[in-house]
Structure 1
Amino acid sequence: MSRIRTGFYYRFSPAHLDKQRCRVWLCGWLAIALLLFGSPSAASASTHRYSEAGDRVLWRSLQTLRDEHQTAWQIVFYKRMKAGETDSLNLRLVGFPGGAELTRQPLTISTRDGQTWTAFPVTDTPLPNTAGEYDLRPVMFELNGNPAIELYLPTAEPLKLTVPPFVIQEWKTVAQKAS
């Protein structure tokens, strides 16, 4: 009987409760640290480098975003370099078969604060009707900060695709890459 009481009283003694409290606090802080530092952030860049023939290098960012009708689009932003110089800075939009068909018209790009650009199609690349490729060099040089932008896709019935700030940051990372 005295063993049970001793054990019972020990579990609720101030010394034992302080140890438990310390363990709880330590576990809580450890969980917070793991959440903050243990997982990659949504804004971490996902850029890739590909060596091409000769002295050509391709840097790219790949994302899948949804338009206003929740249709998925593959968004490929890439920089092609030759001999250490930027050869092209393009955005390729790829819809899925049976989806909206892109016309060979310019892409309209705007920010919420009213800046607007026109990106012209790159015509030397044969693409299916659900894909389009546009020169983004002028846009990337003039775009200040990392605002969300809206792409107005040139389809029979115009579609809007919102590109979040973390994707713009990723594009800027690609645009600044050296060979």
Structure 2
Amino acid sequence: MKSISRFIGATLILGMLVWTLTINMAIAPVRATIRQLEEAPGQMVYQSRQTLKDQHGNIWQAIAFKRVSPNGKSSFELRLVGFPGVVEIDRSKPLLLADSMGKTLAANDNSSIIFTDLSAPDSNVGEYDIQPLLPQLQPEIPLSLTLPIVGGETINLSVPASFVQDWQTLFSSRE
């Protein structure tokens, strides 16, 4: 009887530990790792990669990156990558960034700079110039991205505030 009580007690303790870890992982903000790459001599790229889900449950990769050229000039883009064959991004329209306070900003499409064959760009990849928008974003407020797709529909992606904070950290870094 004593061994059964110990077994039940140990099982309950183990169950509570697993439950606590699961809850903490579910509510803890996900932070991205900021990577540093040297693309060419003196040209650095700093990037943060995150995974986002759209309203259909499809997974997207969001890659925010800052490129610093040897002369010190920098650019900041957001690349959104969906699964091939699932969507076709409409590059004639901007990406919309909206916060819960009602502010909406538009990011211009920069996708043409990433494709070597402009006659056949990957339809599931879009790149947007968000450098002019970053100072206007509040890092404590999550965003909703509205990505236009061919056919007049849109893809909606929710961006946690922690991702916005990572983007602003990248943007403000003086590296």
TM-score (norm 1): 0.73
SS in 2 for 1:42: coil
Residue 145 of structure 1 corresponds to which residue in structure 2?
Answer: 139
1:43-89 per-position Cα deviation (integer Å, ceiling 9, x unaligned):
54411110121210000000111001111001100000013634210
Letter in 1 for 2:39: E
What is the DSSP-based 3-state SS (H/G/I as helix, E as strand, rest coil) of the residue aligned with 1:113?
coil
Contact kept, 8 Å, 1:84 with 1:178, in 2: the verdict is: no
Tell me the amino acid that sits aligned with residue 161 of structure 1.
L
Give the secondary structure class of the aligned counterpart of 2:113: coil
Cα distance in 2 for residues equivalent to 1:84 and 1:58: 14
Shift of the 99–148 alpha-carbon distance from structure 1 to 2, 3 Å rule, reads same
1:98 maps to 2:85:
yes
Instruction: Give the distance between the partners of 1:151 and 1:132, measured in 2 at CA.
Output: 13
- Contact 2:62–2:78 (CA<8 Å) still a contact in 1? yes
Structure 2 runs not aligned, ≥5 long: 1-16, 116-120
Structure number with bigger Rg: 1
Take 1:44 and 1:84, find their aligned partners in 2: how far apart are those partners?
A: 31
Inter-partner Cα distance in structure 2 for 1:51 and 1:117: 31
Change over 3 Å in CA distance of 1:86–1:172 after alignment to 2 = farther
Aligned to 2:11: none
> Identity of aligned pairs, percent?
32
| Residue type at the aligned position of 1:149 | L
TM-score (norm 2): 0.75
Q: Which residue number in structure 2 is paired with residue 176 of structure 1?
A: 172
1:144-166 deviation per Cα after TM superposition (whole angstroms, max 9, x unaligned): 23311010011131111110111
1:83 paired with 2:70, answer: yes
Q: Note the C-alpha offset of 1:124.
A: 2.1
Give the equivalent residue in structure 2 for 1:112. Answer: 100
C-alpha distance in 1 between matches for 2:73 and 2:140: 21
The alpha-carbon deviation at position 177 of structure 1 amounts to 1.9
